[in-house]
Amino acid sequence: MVDNIIHIALLLVFPPFLLGVINKTKAWFGGRVGAPLLQPYYDLAKLFQKEWVLSTTTTWIFRAGPVVTLACVLLAGLLIPLGRFAAPIGFAGDLILFAYLFGLARFFTTAAALDTGSAFEGMGAAREATFSCLSEPALFFALLVLAKLSGSLMLGDLLRGPLGGFAPTVIAPLVLIAIGLFIVLLAETCRIPVDDPNTHLELTMIHEVMVLDHSGPLLGVILYAAAIKLFVLGSVLLHVLAPVQLATAWLNWPLFLLELSGLAVAVGIVESIMARLQMRHVPYLLVSAVLFCGFSFILLVR
Amino acid sequence: MIHLLNAILVLVLMMNLFALGTSRIMTVIQTVAAQGALLSLIPLLAHGHLTLPVALATIAALALKGIAIPSMMAHALRDANIKREVEPLIGLLPSIILGALGTVFALLFASQLPLAGEHADSLLVPASFATMLTGFIFLTTRFKALSQVLGYLVLENGIFIFGMLLINVMPLMVEMGVLLDLFVGIFVICIIVNKINQSFSSMDTRQLVSLKE
């Protein structure tokens, strides 16, 4: 019970901190002091205080987009176990719900973008839909491998693996899906090398262009949902990367937060040392993620 | 031990695909160098315990495949003043997919072979076939002389992996001989590349056929 409350509290409060860690890492690489670690919280507070400005061409879909996205990622966050602690919700087959909650969120984001009637945003929607076609199979293959390893179709059991950690015989498939999932994480959360969250250039935007017309509280909801998405996918990846646990149960919470911050630092390092890929090269990256996860499955069943 | 070996071999397989998917020749050289360095660790792991011949094989492979040959090629690349494989016979994405199909084929094929019991679980045989196939793809679809040398290196890496099956019985002398041949081969090719570049101002091997006149 206490663990469930901590789970929900972390899911609600912690995600913007990860964005702060990423930005701080990038600033450190650039030799700058950078914004304070808590800057994303201040930004969100500022955005939520602003008034609503809505275009007259938009309908309720435009307002529903960010809200549905937030609801979807929060629900997805309840389905996954954080560290060694059980998930608040779980049933057999919830991995499909997990994958398609992201699909639903994406559908509403693209629908809201199309609702503005701007050709520019339609372009972004088309890009997002195209790239998600490639990242979804990678995620599914990765979950399939984990399901095969643990013999369970419930995210809670599947991610935490068999009792006592994964057998050493499966290091090779796990290495492969760890890399595949990291690429999926970068693609889904719109980070470099797939998408640049800071760019506002017509040629290069994917996610940013779809939310150009959102402002004030709606933009705040979108930023918050993006941070939660990073948190959720990061926790999934951590199950593959660091399936360790400490003997004292409560110490696993700080350990988990430390690991997650470490992952955010890794994302920040990737963003600092890599340039954004050319738009026509992004599918190569995503196809290779699918290949890694697919190979991992073949290795397992051969 | 065999599980760590498998993890390394999986990384080697991924480097194959990465090398196929990038057009910058310098990046391919670095990838092949990293692959060679990783492979040089295999004798240590495959053998189980440290003996002098194994240590020598490791050090020699690391020095040659990881450092000497790549730096020679990087030097030749700098002299030749080219950066990219401009138009491969088939595009980059198709070559990745071809490489992936080759890897799948190697995995399926190796599982059909009547291997000795101790090699049944390891990825040595499929990884070796897949790496050799990658080398063939490089050799047949790239036209720059340096890219073809890289294909040759990848091919040799595949043969090196296969040789690891016999590490316990193969004399050190054979291993050293192979490495020496490789080194001399690359050395000569790099000089030739340099000469071709000075004489013809192009590294495209397709144009070599028109030298009859």
Residues of chain B contacting A299 with CB distance shorter than 8 Å: 10, 107, 123
Res. A201: pLDDT tops 80: no
Look at residue B196 in the predicted model and tell me its pLDDT: 77
Residue B53: pLDDT above 90? no
Cα–chain center distance at B86: 21
pLDDT of residue B188: 85
CB A40 within 8 A of CB A20: yes
Residue window 154-173, chain A: list those with CB within 8 Å of chain B: 168-169, 171-173
The residue extents of the domains of chain A are 2-301
Q: What is the Cα–Cα distance from A268 to A272, expressed in whole angstroms?
A: 6
Q: Measuring CA to CA, how many Å separate B181 from each of A129, A167, B7, B64, B176?
A: 52, 41, 29, 11, 9
Q: How many angstroms separate the CA of residue A269 from the nearest CA in chain B? A: 19
Q: Which residue has the tokens 């190569």?
A: A284
| Measured distance CA(B25)–CA(A144) in Å, rounded | 36
Report the 10 Å Cβ neighbour count for B209. Answer: 7
Name the band, by pLDDT with cuts 50, 70 and 90, for residue B90: confident
Domain ranges of chain B: 2-112+119-206
Distance from CA of A141 to the nearest CA of B (A): 15
pLDDT in the model for residue A248: 80
Residue B213 has pLDDT above 70, yes or no: no
DSSP letter at B66 equals I
Cα A241 to the chain's mean position, in Å? 16
**Is B96 in contact with A298 (Cβ distance < 8 A)?**
no
Q: Is B125 on the interface with A (CB under 8 A)?
A: no
**Which residues, other chains included, contact B158 with Cβ-Cβ below 8 Å and sequence gap of 6+?**
B127, B128, B129, B130, B131, B132, B133, B134, B135
Contacts of A292 in chain B (CB under 8 A): 14
User: What residues pair up with B204 in beta bridges, in sequence order?
Assistant: B144
Q: Which is nearest to A284 in space by CA: A178, A134, A148?
A: A134
Tokens, residue B64: 């040659």
pLDDT band per the 50, 70, 90 thresholds, residue A163: low
Q: A234 pLDDT exceeds 90? A: yes
Three-state DSSP at A250 gives helix
* Cβ atoms within 10 Å, residue B56: 14
B1 CB neighbour count, 10 Å cutoff: 12
Contact list, A178 vs chain B (CB under 8 Å): none
For the residues A204-212, what does the mean pLDDT come to?
Answer: 84
A182: contact with B, CB 8 A cutoff: no
Residues B57, B73: Cα–Cα separation, whole Å: 22
- Quote the pLDDT of residue A142: 93
Of residues A298 and A264, more confidence is placed in A264
Instruction: Give the alpha-carbon dihedral of A208, A210, A213, A219, to 10 degrees.
Output: -60
Specify the higher pLDDT residue, B201 or A81.
Answer: A81
Q: Which two tokens stand for residue A7?
A: 């789970």
d(CA A180, CA A237): 10
What are A110-150's pLDDT values in tens digits? 999 999 988 889 999 999 999 999 999 999 999 999 998 88
At residue B144, the 3 state secondary structure works out as strand
Which chain B positions have a beta carbon within 8 Å of A283's beta carbon? 93
> Which of A229-233, A239-243, A268-272, B86-90 has the weakest average pLDDT?
B86-90
The pLDDT of residue A65 is 93
Q: What is the ipTM of this complex?
A: 0.73
A290, A185, A172: which is closest to B100 by C-alpha? A290
pLDDT-derived band at B120 (thresholds 50, 70, 90) equals confident
Q: Quick one: how many helices (H) and strands (E) in chain A?
A: 12, 0
So what's the pLDDT on residue A205? 80
pTM for this model (two decimals) = 0.86
- The more confidently predicted of residues A230 and A205 is A230
More confident residue, A245 or B127: B127
Closest by CA to B8, choosing from B33, B30, B35, is: B35
C-alpha–C-alpha distance, residues A54 and A216, integer Å: 10
On whether the CB atoms of residues A20 and A261 are closer than 8 A, the answer is no
CA distance B87 to B204: 10
Nearest residue of B to residue A174, measured between CA atoms: B7
Which residues in chain B are contacts of A180 at CB distance < 8 A? none
Q: Whole-angstrom Cα distance, residue A17 to residue A41? A: 8
Q: What is the pLDDT of residue B146?
A: 83
Q: What letter represents residue A172's amino acid?
A: A
Q: Is the model's pLDDT at B197 over the cut of 70?
A: yes
Q: Strand pairing partners for B24? A: B84
